[in-house]
Amino acid sequence: MPNRSSDTLFQLVKSLKKSEKRNFKLYVKRNSSAEDLKITQLFDAIDNMDLYDEPQVLKKCKTIAKQQLSNMKAHLYREILSSLRLIRNEDNIDMQLHEQLDFARILYNRGLYLQSLRTLDKIRELAQKNNQLTFLLQVLFFEKKIEALHITRSMQDRAESLALEVDQTNRRLQLIGSLSNLSLQLYSWYIKNGHARNKADEEAVQKFFEKGLSGANGNCNGFYEKLYYYQSYCWYAFIRQDFLLYYRYAQKWVDLFEKEEFMIEIETAHYIKGMHNLLGAHFDLQNYKKFLEALGRFEKFSESAIVLQNDNNLIQSFIYLSISRINKHFIEGTFTEGKGIVPGILEKLGQYQLYIDRHRVLVFYYKFASLYFGSGDYENAIDYLNKIINWKMDLRTDLQCYSRLLHLIAHYELENYQLLEYLIKSVYRFMAKMENLGVVEEEIFNFLRRSFRLSPKSLKPEFQKLLDKLKKLEKNPFATRAFSYLDIISWLESKIKDVPVQDVIREKFLQKS
C-alpha cells in the first residue's frame, strides 16, 4: 500500500501553498531546460496525488525512465527549496543574518576588506540585539581572519578586543549548550517514561538535574540561558509531579518572552510551548480562573499573523490549544459536551498527519478515551484505548500502562466479565513489567479480583472501602502519579452515589467555583 508519510518529496510538495507553487513554476521557467520541463511534469504528477504511488508517477511522466526517477526527484527537491529561498521573509532574523554574512563574504572575496568589515559591524549589532550568539561568533571569527591576514588599521587594539569578545561569547554558548542539553534530556526522559514511578526514579532524575545545573546558577543573564534554565526546571518539576514548582517556572518561561516581546517572533515555537506548559500547570493545580485567562491569551495569539502565516506555528498552536480545550471540559466536568469537539480535532489531525509526531497522537487518543469514558460512552472509549494498546510500544510507557487500566475499567462498566478475568491478569503482568505498579494500582487490582465474587448488594460497601483507602494515599507523592492519569476517586464516588462520573466531577467543580 502506498505510504503517504514515507516520501520526503511528496511531503514537501504537499506542504506548499498555492502562491508557493506558482512561484516555483515561475522560477523553473526563468531557468528552463529540457530537464526542468521534466521536473515540472514530475511536480504536477505528485501534486495531483492524495497518496504517493511511484508506479503511478512513472505512468504519468512518460519522459522519465525508472532508473532516472531517483535523480529527478532529488533535483526537483532542491529546486523547490531554491524557489522557496527566493521568497524573502524580511521578518526572519536567521535569513537576514545569513544574507548579510553572504554579502560580507562576497565583499571580502573581491578584496574589499573595509567594506566587508563595515558589513560585519552591522551584522554584529543585529545579532547582539536579537540574542543570536551563533551568528555573533561567526562574525567574530570572520573579523579575526581579516585582521590576521590583512593590515586594515580598522581599530587600535582590535586584536585584544576581538579575543575578549570571542571568549565571552564562547562562555555564553557553552552555558547555553549545557542547559539546552539538560532540558532536552529531561524532556526525553519524560517522553519515554512519564512521571517518576518510584523513589529510585526520583533520585536518579534529581541527581542528573543537579549535575546538569552545576555552574549555571547565578550565571544565567542572557535570554537563551534563562530560557533553557526555566525549561529544565519545568521538566524536572513535572517529572516529579511538583506542580507548584512546575507552575512557577512555566510562568517564568512565558514572562521571559513578554519582557522581550520581539523574541516571540524569533522563537515562536518556544513561546507556544511555554504557553502550553503554563496551561498544563494551571490544569494540574486546578487553577480554573488563571487557566481561563491563559487560554484566552493563547487563543488570541493563535489568530495573530505570526501564527497564521507560518505552518509550523499554526500546527503547534492547534495541537496545544486542542489539548487545553479538552482539559477545560475535564476541569468543568462537561464530558458529554466535550465529545462535540472530537470530530473537528480528528479532521485537523488528518489534515496535519504528515507533520504531527506519534507522541502527540497518543496523547490525543488518551484524551479522547477519557472524554468518552467520563461521559459514559465506554464503547468509544475502548476504541481509542485499543489504538494506544495496539501501537508499537516504544514511547510513553505510562500512557501504555494507564490506557490498559482504563480499558479494563471500561470493560468492567460494560459488565464484560468473561473478558475481565483474562484482562486483569494481562494488564497486571504488563504494568509490573513496566514498573508501573504502585500501591494505588495494587488496591484497584485487588478490588477488581474480589468483585467477581461479590453480590450487587455487597458491592457498594466494597467501593466505599476502596475509596477510603485511596483517599488516604492522595498525599503520597508516588500515588499521585496514578491520580493524574485516572480520576479514580471520582469514579468510585460515582459508583457509590449511583450517578455518572461526570456528574460527580461537575458537582466538585461547581462547589469550588
**Domain boundaries of the chain, sorted by first residue:** 8-86, 93-155, 242-332
Range with lowest mean pLDDT among 183-192, 368-377, 388-397, 438-447:
388-397
- Is 4 a residue whose pLDDT tops 60? no
pLDDT at residue 467, as a whole number: 93
How far is the C-alpha of 22 from the C-alpha of 28, rounded, in Å?
10
pLDDT at residue 28, as a whole number: 85
pLDDT class of 2 with cuts at 50, 70, 90 = very low
- Is 153 a residue whose pLDDT tops 90? no
pLDDT at residue 155, as a whole number: 58
How far is the C-alpha of 29 from the C-alpha of 42, rounded, in Å?
15
Secondary structure, 3-state, 386-421: HHHHCCCCCCCHHHHHHHHHHHHHHHHHCCCHHHHH
User: What is the DSSP track for 20-60?
Assistant: HHHHHHHHHHHT--HHHHHHHHHHHHHHT-SS--HHHHHHH
How far is the C-alpha of 482 from the C-alpha of 378, rounded, in Å?
20
Euclidean distance between the first and the last CA atom of the chain, given in angstroms as a whole number: 53
- Is 34 a residue whose pLDDT tops 60? no
Q: What percentage of the chain reaches a pLDDT higher than 70?
A: 95
Mean pLDDT, range 275-297, rounded to an integer: 96
- Is 443 a residue whose pLDDT tops 60? yes
How far is the C-alpha of 287 from the C-alpha of 331, rounded, in Å?
9
Contacts of residue 386, Cβ cutoff 8 Å, sequence gap at least 6: 407
pLDDT tens-digit profile of 425-442?
Answer: 999 999 898 888 888 999
How far is the C-alpha of 288 from the C-alpha of 42, rounded, in Å?
53
- Is 243 a residue whose pLDDT tops 80? yes
pTM assigned to the model: 0.85
pLDDT class of 148 with cuts at 50, 70, 90 = confident
- Is 48 a residue whose pLDDT tops 50? yes
Q: What percentage of the chain reaches a pLDDT higher than 90?
A: 59
Residues 171-201 as b or e (16 or more Cβ within 10 Å = b): ebbebbebbbebbeebbebbeebbbbbeeeb
Cα Rg of the chain (Å, integer): 28
pLDDT at residue 64, as a whole number: 86
